[in-house]
Amino acid sequence: MSSLPRRIIKETQRLMQEPVPGINAIPDENNARYFHVIVTGPNDSPFEGGVFKLELFLPEDYPMSAPKVRFITKIYHPNIDRLGRICLDVLKDKWSPALQIRTILLSIQALLSAPNPDDPLANDVAELWKVNEAEAIRNAREWTQKYAVED
């Protein structure tokens, strides 16, 4: 494996030194391009109180291409499918090398506060979110309690 680019080393150091509130990203001890991520559910969202595990991988051509991020913890969200894949523009066509691990994780945190059922990835969830938002939010709360709250 080629040596780790200085940018990745710098980003990792800054993530450790100045962590983002509600976000924790730690590189794997065997692979510095793989991060174990924890995002806490934002206040005033149906995900409040939840602790969500994600995995983040920096591909070989990072930062020319976006990090790959996936929820490991099950989550009821119109833009996140049952495999944990995330529909987010900055992870796809709106990626820019000026973005960082930090900004991507902040965007994901913001997505939890502001679900967007008009650009769905989980179609059944998005559909319910549009026709009966109250029930969808109730489901999201239940799933948060069931899968994202440790006893």
Partner 1 sequence: MGNCLKINSSDDISLLRGSESVHRQNSGPLPMFQNEQYQQIFFPSPSTSIGHAPIAGHSQLSEEDQVKIAKRIGLMQHLPIGTYDGSSKKSRECVICMAEFCVDEAVRYLPCMHIYHVKCIDDWLMRSLTCPSCLEPVDAALLTSYETT
Residues belonging to the active site: 87
> Which CB atom, from 44 or from 61, has the smaller least distance to partner 1?
61
> Which CB atom, from 2 or from 30, has the smaller least distance to partner 1?
2
Of 91, 90, 50, 95, which Cα lies nearest the Cα of 73? 50
Measured distance CA(21)–CA(86) in Å, rounded: 21
> Which CB atom, from 104 or from 112, has the smaller least distance to partner 1?
104
Across the strands, what pairs with 55?
A: 36, 70
Query: At its nearest, how many Å lie between partner 1 and the CB of residue 142?
Result: 39
Query: At its nearest, how many Å lie between partner 1 and the CB of residue 58?
Result: 13
Which positions lie near partner 1, rule CB under 8 A? 5-7, 10-11, 60-61, 63-65, 94, 96-98
Of 28, 25, 91, which Cα lies nearest the Cα of 53? 25
Query: At its nearest, how many Å lie between partner 1 and the CB of residue 11?
Result: 7
Residue 78 preceded by cis peptide, ω within 30? no
